[in-house]
Structure 1
Amino acid sequence: MILRDSADEKVRGERVEVHTGRKWRADKSVSDAESRLRHSDIVGTTTSGRLGLGCVTRASWSPG
């Protein structure tokens, strides 16, 4: 993500392949994490227990 979202145009343009082990892939893990963050932005903050609405705040995640 650091290379893909870099401010430097040359770094951003390079296609770097990250070698990982057999059990996980870096690009799939990053896309899964971004998908979860996007979903939590859509759903918003939910209440849990006896706290009322608006007691817990969270900063939203947006890629740009």
Structure 2
Amino acid sequence: MSKEAPNYVIRGIFIGASIGVIGYLVGFLPNLPRAIALGMVPGFVAGITLARAHKTKNNDESE
């Protein structure tokens, strides 16, 4: 059974979009597509950051 690496960027985008929808439902943003897009952008950046941190952590452990 092969173990696939988790895709942090996609996970971050989905979580960011979900937070954008919650922000829309609470009333912070008046437009649903804009709320989703505004959630996806920081989710993308967070996913990249998490992937880089995980990669650095794995490189430190192998040495």
With the length of structure 2 as denominator, give the TM-score of the two structures: 0.35
More helix by share: 2
Identify which of structures 1 and 2 has the higher relative contact order when contacts are C-alpha pairs closer than 8 Å and 6+ apart. Answer: 2
With the length of structure 1 as denominator, give the TM-score of the two structures: 0.34
Higher Cα radius of gyration? 1
